[in-house]
Amino acid sequence: MAVRPIYLDYHATTPVDPRVVADMLPYFTERFGNPASRQHAWGWEADEAVERARGQVAALINATPGEIVFTSGASESNNLALKGLCETRRERGRHVITVATEHKSVLDSCKRLATCGYDVTVLGVGRDGLVDLDALRAAMTPNTILVSVMAANNEIGTLQPLDAIGAIAHEHGALLHTDAAQAAGKVPIDVRALHVDLLSLTAHKCYGPKGAGALFVAKAKPRVALAPQIDGGGHEHGWRSGTLNVPGIVGLGRAAEICREEMPAESARLRALRDGLLEGLRARLDGVLVNGTMDRRLPHNLHVTFDGVEGEALLMAIGDLAVSTGSACSSGSQAPSHVLQAIGAVRDGGGASIRFGLGRNTTPDEIAYAIDRVATVVASLRSSVARPR
């Protein structure tokens, strides 16, 4: 059997933590009830598990359990937040603001809103990937009802100043939605302190199962209402109908609990490994350019461009490292990353860009191997390009 590559693509997905699996297993077999079945013990037991998970997810972001709506993942949560909010507030205004570096589930939802008569402003970002707060203020109008800015970018790891963004939105009577799929469980999030009204997250980015996610919907100051995007049954406050994925929800709750407890130590460990990776690459190679800022960045993210190297050639040559050139959700596209385009990192003559995503199972030995492997391959590729024919 072939040796599997070293996994450094934790932004794409994460393995389910064994502790999460252990909590989920009984809900596939012994405790298989439907939480909507209120007439017997199987249903009560499942409902108790769902409510326990609701509390665990709420605790991760300083929300209340009643503000958590379970979904199939962050993409569904983003769709429900943007489309559901705009439908309920359309009489107040029809202007939405978002950012060019958002996940496609936000950008495409905004495109759909534009076809339904909404005015959408897409703000650019600087080379650091950060939103210009003055540009945001200038874009606000009396008709602005929603600002959607992701907490952490899924490619370059940039952490946006949500507290300042939320304050600007609220000052103008608008609400703030944030896609926190990459940030939840990795960095502290307090929806109250950050002025966040809607927040999307998913289990599989934080060592939980695929197919389970949540949307935080504020219940006070202001109380947010949504128009459901899935009808039939009135589950989840009537905002998301469908039989609940109890094992997945249990897994999401346990994953959130573990992240909340272990985040400080894990973040420090990963930041040290990430910084060591960058230092090691720069010690061996010239022309290693960091995409995005290092000052406001996810602790486990490094996105770099290697000058003088073609991207596909580099990825093929380092096949024993599982890394990415960008978002897993757009991996089938040959077009340049819209995030790199937005920060001006796509240039004529290019260079190979790689996203390194470190995780709970990443070891110092793996980082040392990655440094040596990438440095050796990049030097070889540059040499072959420079060699006269």
Active site residues: 329
Which residues does 248 contact at the CB level (< 8 Å), separation at least 6? 24, 203, 208, 209, 211, 212
